[in-house]
Structure 1
Amino acid sequence: MFGAAGITCVGMRRTLTLLAVSAAVVALAPSASAHPRLPSWQERPTGTTAEFRGLAPVSRDVAWVAGTSGTVLRTTDGGRHWIDVSPAGASALQFRDIEAFDARNAVALTIGPGDQSRVYRTTDGGAHWQVGFTNTDDRAFYDCMAFFDRSHGIAMSDPVDGKFRIIRTSDGGASWAVDDPAGMPPALDGEFGFAASGTCLVTAGPRDAWLATGGGATARVLHSRDGGHTWQATDTPVRSGPSAGIYALAMHDPRHGLAIGGDYTVPDSAPDALALTADGGRTWHAATGPGEYRSGAAWLTGRVALAVGPTGSDISADGGRSWHRFDSGSLDSVECTRDQACWGSGVDGRVVVLRH
């Protein structure tokens, strides 16, 4: 437990961070100078060339990344040093999502048809991993995973028998079971999820979950208010197609969020690729986005949001209504923590932290 001095130090650090964020917001406002002060990424070299689409920062000190060739890394000093904690025997698999609760407990998802889709769990910082789930249905392909708390989580597969499939855990990922599909609405022809950054499925609060789609005639968001048992689908204005749709969801709270994407085959142009909600996903409204394909998004505060993709990173200081480019490097994923630290990850082992 914190003593009075510890509480004071933590409070002062958070206050200073929020003041820095506020200054960045002011600098981005239209009334500011012609050269607004933008944030920047600070590199945190990992010593590997794996592509990290799975990203799970816990704080400004602790973070996990997971990616190609079965690679999982962990840091406890803000990315200055990385420890390879890759599961044994997983080098042929691709990790696309990881959820971490602290420096010792994490759950990671690999993707692919059949038994390539698996869920791994560690409780000792990655020294040992247990396989909590192995897909045995060749028709299933798992894309994303999300947790409501340390015990309860869900993962989604592309449609099987005409519906998105949900598996769930109530023991922190140690075991999983396939959900009854009765509460899932029918999928559209050609509809699926994008395993791009682990954020095609997200949660906010103890029972709300959202699932993003593409591939069909309409890009949709499916919302559950009961922990993922029943879902309601809503059309969005995000453009959809065989390789286009919503690649990432980011919910700041159970009511406010954004859906972003585009077409990964045309990364330099993404019209109609951003939508915002202020009612928990019952309605989605088009907004002017970065204008290029983006695979990841996150909220730093209730007003400040980030979006990343292969052609750069953007920041919004007005709740997602306008965006400013601040980096031209490639990233797949971005996540922010409760202590106001934002991390990004992507190709060639790239991991970065936000300086703002």
Structure 2
Amino acid sequence: MTEQTIDPGLYASMEYRCIGPHRGGRVVAVAGDPLDRNVFYFGSTGGGVWKTTDGGQSWRNVSDGYFRYASVGALAVAPSDPNVIYAGMGETSIRGNVSRGDGVYRSDDAGRSWRHLGLAETQNIGEIVIHPHNPEVVYVAALGHVWGPNAERGVYRSTDGGATWRLVLHKSSKAGAVDLSIDPTNPRILYATIWQAERGPHYMSSGGEDSGIWRTMDGGETWQELSRRPGLPQTGVYGKIGIAASGAKAGRVYAIVEHEYGALFRSDNYGDSWSRGSEDRDLRTRAWYYHHIYADPQDADVVWVLNVDAWRSIDGGNTFSVVQVHHGDTHALWIDPRDPQRMIMGDDGGAEVSYTGGASWSTILNQATSEFYHVTVDNRVPYRVYGAQQDNTTISVPSRSNSGFISTSEWYTVGGGESGYIAVKPDDPDIVFAGSYGGLLTRYDARHRL
């Protein structure tokens, strides 16, 4: 076959259009409007910031055209002015396919427009907290570069709404801040966790001498390390740590700790001493991917730990039970300080809203944020598109539909799994081969659904 040249003018006016599937992808950042009960936001690890105004029944992207990168690692709405939103770019659930970001963006009109505030070389941001009474005071937990050392790591503070930043907590060029919690009873008190971690082409290192827990009592001017306070492990290496200050009881702090003798820990004196809670390993599996903890704003004994499952304790962290959600691999939770029954969860399947404290959740089949490792097409007219979705199944969707829109009834899985390639038989598009982990190879016959 001889090479053919196609006139670019034939496709110059063509535009991309979304063909789905509208099932959610990984979400590690969520937030809610403190005043409007129907408004929530989530940050996708590959699709920017999304907003709902109907309690999760529908979502729309609000960052396209403003963001230069797509991966959102942190999201916060100002408690005193819900028009002000900060987004931190680049996730800190550092899979081998982690995407970097370019610092912090701010919206002053509830997501309608955004402007970049700098900190581009932080690349991966784990948390953002805003002063409860002043939207111009904001703190950023910057993990820094995933693949090697860099200087732009630690806790940054701005007192002018992001116009300028000051690095107020810095441990080293190989360890950055991954979590941050402000005490709702006294916003001068904040807790930060530092994580020494690095990804390489064939390895993942979590933990080191620079990991630990820190506290400030003066809004970030000075910090004290709490890592070896009574009750916490006194020797050995710390890894990733999640931290949460309770708004229901002054002085109460929860931490989920990666360590040889790790567990859930609780303090009732601002971190000066700690008691050991649940040691359940299911709370601490794959800490580098999870290790997120959230305190109920009105009940001091209710605390959530997010891992493969969503876990909730009602006895101060001593025992936990699973809360059912639509998808596993849970990463982020926002609980309404005024009504703890109202919340939003982020996981590998998208974002879901609850008004019942987790007893029921909105659908995740309405978010065009799915992440695909590989895609291919067949030879039909019109053709179908095939892909392997992260933490989900393979799927085939049509490139167009005779019904005027592409519905879920026209989707189907084709075997294999999230990591595999898909190959369609050239002379019979109903025969599809798909791979997955461990050398799995499947053959699917769409004609007979076998």
**What TM-score results when the alignment is normalised by the length of structure 2?**
0.57
Equivalent residue number for residue 330 of structure 1: 329
Equivalent residue number for residue 229 of structure 1: 221
Q: Distance in 1 between matches of 2:114 and 2:152?
A: 31
Equivalent residue number for residue 31 of structure 2: 56
Specify whether residues 120 and 87 from structure 1 end up closer, same or farther in structure 2 by C-alpha distance, changes over 3 A only. Answer: farther
Equivalent residue number for residue 17 of structure 1: none
Q: Please state if 1:276 is matched with 2:273.
A: no
Equivalent residue number for residue 51 of structure 2: 74
- Pairing 1:1-356 to 2, within 5 Å after superposition: 47-59=22-34, 60-90=37-67, 92-101=69-78, 103-111=82-90, 116-135=101-120, 137=121, 142-149=125-132, 150-158=135-143, 165-173=154-162, 175-179=163-167, 184=169, 186-187=171-172, 191-194=175-178, 200-204=179-183, 205-214=186-195, 215-217=207-209, 219-235=211-227, 237=232, 244-246=239-241, 248-253=242-247, 254-262=250-258, 272-292=262-282, 293=284, 294-300=290-296, 301-309=299-307, 311-327=308-324, 329-338=328-337, 339-340=339-340, 341-353=342-354, 354-356=357-359
* Runs of at least 5 residues in structure 1 that lack an aligned partner in the other structure: 1-45, 195-199, 264-269
Specify whether residues 64 and 229 from structure 1 end up closer, same or farther in structure 2 by C-alpha distance, changes over 3 A only. Answer: same
Q: Distance in 1 between matches of 2:332 and 2:55?
A: 17
Q: Which amino acid aligns with 1:49?
A: G
Q: Distance in 1 between matches of 2:68 and 2:170?
A: 36
Specify whether residues 162 and 125 from structure 1 end up closer, same or farther in structure 2 by C-alpha distance, changes over 3 A only. Answer: closer
The answer on whether the counterparts of 2:155 and 2:170 sit within 8 Å (CA) in structure 1 is: no
* Runs of at least 5 residues in structure 2 that lack an aligned partner in the other structure: 1-20, 92-97, 196-206, 285-289, 360-450
The answer on whether the counterparts of 2:324 and 2:358 sit within 8 Å (CA) in structure 1 is: no
Over the residues paired in the alignment, what is the CA RMSD in angstroms? 3.3
Q: Which amino acid aligns with 1:257?
A: V
Sequence identity, in percent?
A: 19
Encode CA deviations 1:299-319: one digit per residue, 9 max, x unaligned.
22212111112x201111111
Q: Which moved more, 1:55-64 or 1:329-338?
A: 55-64
How far the C-alpha of 1:226 sits from its partner, in A, is 0.9
Q: Distance in 1 between matches of 2:236 and 2:180?
A: 17
Q: Which amino acid aligns with 1:332?
A: H
Q: Distance in 2 between matches of 1:65 and 1:134?
A: 21
How far the C-alpha of 1:153 sits from its partner, in A, is 1.0
How far the C-alpha of 1:58 sits from its partner, in A, is 3.0
Judging by fraction of residues, say which structure has more helix: 1
Secondary structure of the corresponding residue to residue 53 of structure 1 = strand
Q: Distance in 2 between matches of 1:350 and 1:99?
A: 15
Specify whether residues 233 and 316 from structure 1 end up closer, same or farther in structure 2 by C-alpha distance, changes over 3 A only. Answer: same
Secondary structure of the corresponding residue to residue 349 of structure 2 = helix
Specify whether residues 79 and 289 from structure 1 end up closer, same or farther in structure 2 by C-alpha distance, changes over 3 A only. Answer: farther
Q: Which amino acid aligns with 1:210?
A: Y
Specify whether residues 57 and 234 from structure 1 end up closer, same or farther in structure 2 by C-alpha distance, changes over 3 A only. Answer: same
Q: Distance in 1 between matches of 2:180 and 2:322?
A: 26
Specify whether residues 290 and 335 from structure 1 end up closer, same or farther in structure 2 by C-alpha distance, changes over 3 A only. Answer: farther
Q: Which amino acid aligns with 2:226?
A: T
Encode CA deviations 1:172-213: one digit per residue, 9 max, x unaligned.
34x23223x5xx4745x954444xxxxx01111321111113
How far the C-alpha of 1:255 sits from its partner, in A, is 0.9
In terms of Rg, which structure is larger?
2
Specify whether residues 221 and 50 from structure 1 end up closer, same or farther in structure 2 by C-alpha distance, changes over 3 A only. Answer: same
Secondary structure of the corresponding residue to residue 46 of structure 2 = helix
Equivalent residue number for residue 41 of structure 1: none
Equivalent residue number for residue 16 of structure 1: none
Specify whether residues 347 and 133 from structure 1 end up closer, same or farther in structure 2 by C-alpha distance, changes over 3 A only. Answer: same
